Chains A and B, each alone.
Chain A
Amino acid sequence: MGDSHLNPLEYDFIGARERTEAKRKSAGEKLTSLEDAVARVKDGDHVSVGGCLFSRTPMALMREILRHRRRGLTLSRNLTCNEGEMFMAAGAVSRVVTAWMSIGLPWGVSKILRHYVESGAVALEEWSHLALGLRFRAGAMGVPFLPALTMLGSDLVGVGGLKTVQDPYTGETLAAVPALFPDVAVLHVHRADRFGNCQIDGYPHMDADIARAATTVLVTTEEIMSEEETRRYPDRTVIPGFVVDALVHVPFGSFPHECYALYEADYDHFAEYTAAIDARGPSAVGEYLERYVYGPPAWSDYLDLFGGERLALQAKRAKELTR
Chain B
Amino acid sequence: MTFNASELLAVIAARQLHDDTTVFAGVGVPLLAAALAKRRHAPRLTMVIEGGIIGPQIAPGRLPVSTNEMRAGHRATMLPGITDAFLFAQRGFVDVGFMGGAQIDQYGNINTSVLGADYWKPKVRLPGTGGANDIASLCREVIIVTAHEKRRFVERVDFVTSPAWLRGDGSRRAAGLRFGGVSRVVTTLGILGFDPDSKRMRIEATHPGVSTDTVRQNTGFALLEAPRVEVTEPPSDDELAMLRALDPERRFLGT
Contact = CB atoms under 8 A, between A and B. Distances in A.
Interface of A: 1-2, 52-55, 78-79, 98-102, 104-106, 109-110, 113-114, 117-120, 123-124, 126-131, 133-134, 136-137, 148-156, 158-159, 164, 172-175, 202-206, 208-209, 258, 260-261, 264-265, 267, 318, 321-322
B73 interface: yes
The 9 lowest CB-CB distance pairs between A and B, nearest first, are A153-B175, A133-B83, A173-B176, A130-B86, A128-B133, A100-B130, A129-B131, A204-B81, A130-B134
Nearest to A264: B70
Contacts of A265: 69
Given A130-B86, A321-B71, A154 B131 contact: no
A156 B126 CA distance: 14
Contact of B73 (A100, A158, A203): A203
Contacts of B251: 106
Contact of A321 (B62, B122, B126, B131): B62
A203 B90 contact: no
B137 A79 contact: no
Contacts of A173: 175-176
Contact of A174 (B53, B124, B131, B176): B176
Nearest to B167: A153
Contact of B131 (A99, A101, A153): A99
Given A118-B123, A149-B176, A203-B52, A156 B129 contact: yes
A203 to B, nearest CB: 6
Contact of B82 (A104, A133, A152, A322): A133
Given A113-B125, A261-B70, A126 B83 contact: no
B74 interface: yes
B254 interface: no
A102 B130 CA distance: 11
28 contacts: A52-B68, A53-B69, A105-B27, A106-B251, A114-B124, A118-B122, A123-B120, A124-B125, A126-B113, A128-B133, A129-B130, A130-B83, A130-B131, A137-B83, A149-B90, A153-B160, A154-B160, A164-B176, A173-B175, A203-B51, A203-B68, A204-B79, A206-B82, A261-B70, A321-B62, A321-B70, A321-B71, A321-B74
Contacts of A260: 70
A117 B121 CA distance: 7
A137 B81 CA distance: 12
A244 B131 CA distance: 29
A50 to B, nearest CB: 12
Given A1-B119, A155-B119, A321-B71, A148 B125 contact: no
Contacts of A120: 120-121
A263 to B, nearest CB: 10
A108 to B, nearest CB: 9
Contacts of A206: 81-83
Contacts of A127: 129
A52 B161 contact: no
B161 A156 contact: yes
A258 B122 contact: no
A149 B137 contact: yes
A109 B125 CA distance: 9
Given A118-B124, A153-B166, A153-B176, A100 B129 contact: yes
Contacts of B50: 129
A102 B70 CA distance: 18
Given A126-B113, A156-B129, 17 more contacts: A101-B128, A106-B251, A114-B125, A128-B132, A133-B83, A149-B178, A152-B176, A153-B175, A155-B113, A173-B175, A174-B176, A202-B70, A204-B81, A206-B83, A208-B81, A264-B70, A267-B65
